[in-house]
Amino acid sequence: MNGEQEKNPLQDSSPGGPPPPPQPEIKMRSLESDIKSVEETGGGMPEPEIIQPSELNEVGGPVTPPETTTPDVVEMETKGGARRWLVWLLVIAIVIGVALLGYKYAGPLLFPQDTDIEETPTITTPVEPAVPAITHVSAFGNSADSITPLSISDYSLVAILTALQNEGSNILANNEGEGLKEVTFSVGGNLASGYDFLTTILPELKDSDAGNMIKNSFEKDFTSFLYYNTSRLGYGVWPGYILKIRDAEIADIDGFGMRKILEEIEGASIKNAFLTPPVADPSSFKTGPVGNTHTSRYASFGSGTKASFNYGLIGDYLIISTTYKGLMQAIGSMTSHSVK
């Protein structure tokens, strides 16, 4: 050694140092290289083209492998996105639910509305006014203890005639002579109405002007009587009826007008008024005197019978009798009491 320090060849950077290591071979295939290889080999398998690193710039620079996303990263991103959507949907549903509850319950309190409340109509059954009970006042002025009460089941001709025939049989059986006997009728415990009773005996009056006048212008209370005679010449029982004008001073029709309307009685079934209907047909109605101041209308049933149908407006009373003697005795009993 000549006294100089020995140099490391790897650290020698002088121009005369060792050469750099050889560059690695890089094999690449492209469409152009494959066509060129097939032409050179005559149809064999194409060989890759060997390219030096220094030539990379000439073919377009280094090839950077495409970036790939690992499946784990993709799955995590997918799960994370779905989870975020679920959270947002849940938040939106809660907000909508709270809004609906607030509108339903808090809305009416915060923003009250004036609404008409429909009231349920109350159905009331009309109550018919109670019909006052009829109180009987005798047209003869008789007291209650001298009047015989008769009861009938209903307003029917059979029921009325049966009650009268039974009472007539009692009178004849007792041989009471000649006279008047007052009776009253009750239906179901209540005194019978004059209009209902009279239109049962004479049904044609129910739809007539005479019937309407009796209903509206006469009192409901009426007096019934039986004229009887147990002697050999006038043997028999004949009924009669008396109805009083309600208020003669304010009556809608005067006496003459009433008499004209009452003539409709003459076309009714007057035989129904007798206890035993006469065999002969009635004569035409005539006007005859009753005492010195009154008149009546009457129809007879032949010379061999005492039966005759009589009616008349005597003072404030309509009197119907099935015999002329009965009419006269009824008026005589009323003279001192009520007939003017």
Nearest to 33 by CA among 59, 67, 2, 66: 59
**How much is the pLDDT for 1?**
46
What confidence tens digit (pLDDT) does each residue in 158-190 have? 999 999 999 999 999 998 899 999 999 999 999
Which position has the higher pLDDT, 227 or 131? 227
Residue with more model confidence, 7 or 141? 141
Residue 3, pLDDT score: 46
30-39, 60-69, 252-261: segment of lowest average pLDDT: 60-69
CA dihedral of residues 197, 203, 204, 208 (deg, nearest 10): 40
Q: Which residues contact 94 (CB under 8 A, 6 or more apart)?
A: none
**pLDDT of 137 strictly over 70:** yes
Per-residue pLDDT, 113: 63
Q: Which of 272, 249, 252 is nearest to 261 (CA)?
A: 252
Interatomic CA distance for residues 52 and 63, integer angstroms: 14
- Across 207-221, average pLDDT: 93
Torsion of Cα atoms, 283 then 315 then 335 then 171, to 10°: 40
263-275: pLDDT as tens digits = 999 999 999 999 9
State the pLDDT at residue 74. Answer: 47
DSSP 291-335: TTTEEEEEEE--TT--EEEEEEEETTEEEEEEEHHHHHHHHHHHH
Domain limits, the chain: 24-55, 144-335
Residue with the bigger pLDDT between 127 and 302: it is 302
Contact 218, 198 (CB under 8 A): no
Res. 10 pLDDT band, cuts 50 70 90: very low
Q: Which tokens sit at 192? A: 């019978």
Q: Are 117 and 158 in contact (CB under 8 A)?
A: no
Rounded distance, CA 132 to CA 195, Å? 16
Average pLDDT across the chain, whole number: 81
Q: Kindly indicate the confidence band of residue 296, based on its pLDDT and cuts at 50, 70 and 90.
A: very high
Note the pLDDT of residue 192.
97
Considering only residues 79 and 334, tell me which one the structure prediction assigns the higher pLDDT.
Answer: 334
Mean pLDDT of 213-238: 92
Residue 207 has a pLDDT of 87
* Poorest-pLDDT segment among 15-24, 31-40, 206-215: 15-24
Please name the amino acid found at residue 266.
Answer: E
Three-state DSSP at 93 gives helix
Residue 248: pLDDT over 70: no
Concatenating the DSSP letter of every residue in 5-22 gives PPPPGGG--STTSPPPPP
pLDDT at residue 232 in the model: 77
Q: Which two tokens stand for residue 52?
A: 């030096």
Which residues fall within 8 angstroms of residue 319, CB to CB, at 6 or more apart?
240, 241, 242, 296, 310, 311, 312, 327, 330, 331
Task: Report residue 288: phi and psi, to 5°.
Answer: -135, 160
